[in-house]
Amino acid sequence: MKTYTLKFSDDDIGVARRLEFKASDMTGALVIAHREASKRSAELWEGARKLCSIRRPANDVWMPASLKA
């Protein structure tokens, strides 16, 4: 199991915080991130490597935005 971190910024929905969790791979981490970031934008990290940003626009569509490799 790998350790992932979901980072939330201070916004109008809540305060900045970090959530560390374990998942077997990035797919599993995205499932957990989707559940934990159901109403907020966040960044998903694996160690020091940023995997993606999860944006929650006004219409509440979940949009992971990947980074260049």
Per-residue pLDDT of 36-66, as tens digits, reads: 888 888 999 999 999 999 877 666 555 666 6
At 67 the pLDDT is: 58
At 27 the pLDDT is: 93
Per-residue pLDDT of 2-49, as tens digits, reads: 999 999 988 888 889 999 999 999 999 999 998 888 888 899 999 999
- The predicted model scores a pTM of 0.76
Give the separation between CA 54 and CA 64, rounded to whole angstroms: 4
The token duo for 45 is 């990290």
